[in-house]
Amino acid sequence: MRILTALVLLTAAVAMPVEAQRATTRGRGATAAAPATRTEPAVYACPSLLGDGVQTKRVFCDVLAGRDTSEGIIIPLPPHTGPVTLRFDLHNRHTYSEELIKTNRAYRHHTATIGVLTADNTLLTRAVVQSEFRTAADLVDRISGGAGPGGVKAVAPTGTEPITVMIPATEDSISILGEKLTVVRADGTDIFTTPGRPIAIISNVTLEYRPAPARRAPARRR
């Protein structure tokens, strides 16, 4: 009988730490998990909207040259925890001419440089897109809403450079501004830096971030 009692006590002693460990595990599991990373199209203010692509259905926005971040493409950031990843496609901006193609004078080599800045004018990064144009096949898309054949605009995106920018967790918005456009023709070179002039085009703008935890409502006093 004494041996049986001792075995029961020993079993209970071994079982207690196991149950305590399980309780601890359950307690840890009850802790709120960190919000999952979210990727979504960015909502932004485009000061010079080029239009919608006929084939891609993308929204294309002109990047204007300038030094004032308030005049750039403003992208507000949703409430977030940690850094935010901004992604977009950067294109050159070409004015299409059927006449130039027919007369073998359509060649252009574009190099556009833009800047991604914080609201206080701190440069996060520069981005560059280079591309060559010879025929209509070099265009990324045509833009609807123009007076040309098929109802398209003469201006169209050419070349595509995927851009990724890491934005510090402390920022609430960023601005995209153009810096310089260099256009090389068969008969010369043009450089554009005048504020307000379209330098490049962006499309497919997305944000990847971890949403900030929802704020708890204060408890009501009884």
Distance CA 64, CA 211 (A): 31
Q: Kindly state the average pLDDT of the residues 56-60.
A: 96
Distance CA 60, CA 141 (A): 10
- Which CATH number is 192's domain given? 2.60.120
**Which residues are registered as beta bridge partners of 168?**
none
pLDDT higher than 60, residue 30: no
Q: What is the pLDDT of residue 35?
A: 73
Q: What is the pLDDT of residue 24?
A: 46
Band of residue 146 on the pLDDT scale cut at 50, 70, 90 = confident
- The secondary structure of the chain in percent helix, strand, coil, rounded to multiples of 5, reads 20, 50, 30
> In whole numbers, what is the pLDDT of the chain averaged over residues?
87
Distance CA 172, CA 118 (A): 9
Distance CA 37, CA 18 (A): 35
Burial class (CB in 10 A: 0-12, 13-18, 19+), 31: exposed
The residue count of the chain comes to 222
pLDDT higher than 80, residue 122: yes
Residue 171 has a CB neighbour count (10 Å cut-off) of 16
Q: pTM of the predicted model, to two decimals?
A: 0.81
Distance CA 123, CA 69 (A): 10
Kindly report which listed range (25-34, 62-71, 91-100, 126-135) carries the lowest average pLDDT score. 25-34
pLDDT higher than 80, residue 160: yes
Residue 144 structural domain: 38-211
Number of folded domains in the chain? 1
Kindly report which listed range (18-27, 48-57, 90-99) carries the lowest average pLDDT score. 18-27
Q: How far is CA 185 from the centre of its chain?
A: 32
Separation in Å, CA 155 to CA 7, 30, 121, 135: 88, 56, 30, 14
Distance CA 41, CA 25 (A): 38
pLDDT higher than 70, residue 23: no
Tokens, residue 160: 């595509």
pLDDT higher than 70, residue 2: no
pLDDT higher than 60, residue 155: yes
**Which residues are registered as beta bridge partners of 174?**
75, 118
pLDDT higher than 60, residue 21: no
Assigned domain for 9 exists: no
Q: How far is CA 138 from the centre of its chain?
A: 24
Give which of 146, 166, 158 is closest to 52, Cα–Cα. Answer: 146
pLDDT higher than 80, residue 169: yes
pLDDT higher than 60, residue 18: no
Assigned domain for 65 exists: yes
Assigned domain for 5 exists: no
Residue 13 or residue 166, greater confidence: 166
Assigned domain for 172 exists: yes
